[in-house]
Amino acid sequence: MIAVLLGPPGVGKGTQATRLTDAHGWRHISSGDVLRREAELDTPRGRALKEILATGRLVPDDTTLQIVLDHILKAVIERGVLLDGFPRTVVQARALDAALSEHDRKLDLALLLDADVDEVARRISGRLTCRRCGAVYHTTYNPPKAPGVCDRCGGELYHRSDDDEATVRHRMAVYVRDTAPLIDYYEAQGKLERVDGGRPIDEVYASLDGIIRGAKV
């Protein structure tokens, strides 16, 4: 199966994607992680990406497609894939559909996590990310077993620089403008499933897992 996890920044996509891919043996591809790794490179493209990500702007479609599609196409050959943060626009969604079609594959399911802006802001203010594997935690809702240490790989946890309130508000505005139209795109294809992302993590996971297991039947 190839599925995409949609929702505003901070709604919990990374946390749920990690649990779902562990449970189903899928490959988790986070466009944010892929782009941040590229941004760490001391190249013209890496430096330009670093500036864009730091201000919460949306990475241009052509840049995102070039970097992320290659990772996706390599992964779908091997096993199921859960996409997190990609596609972000209808243009990217159409490009993904075309690329998968060339390999006789298709996107099977679009899972939408919803939550209000204030809840998202609270979550992001306490979010921690592993520098090594990209796993996501929260100081209140999903704390690591040992402070500052990733449960999965032992890597260092840190608070991302783009998680301050002003940047979060800007990212939410970008989401509404550019990413929300994906909801209509996938709903028209009959692939969209909605889940209330404002509930406790375990409840959200149970809903997502149930939808996936039902789609596999």
Please name the residues in contact with 193: beta carbons below 8 A apart, sequence gap of 6 or more: 109, 110, 111, 112, 211
Q: What are the extents of the domains in the chain?
A: 2-116+178-216
Catalytic residues: 13, 88, 127, 160, 171
Average pLDDT in the 24-45 region? Answer: 88
Architecture of the domain delimited by 2-116+178-216: 3-Layer(aba) Sandwich (3.40)
pLDDT tens digits for range 132-186: 998 889 888 889 999 999 999 999 999 887 777 777 778 788 888 877 889 999 9
**Does the pLDDT at position 122 exceed 80?**
no
What is d(CA 216, CA 20) in angstroms, rounded to the nearest whole number?
A: 14
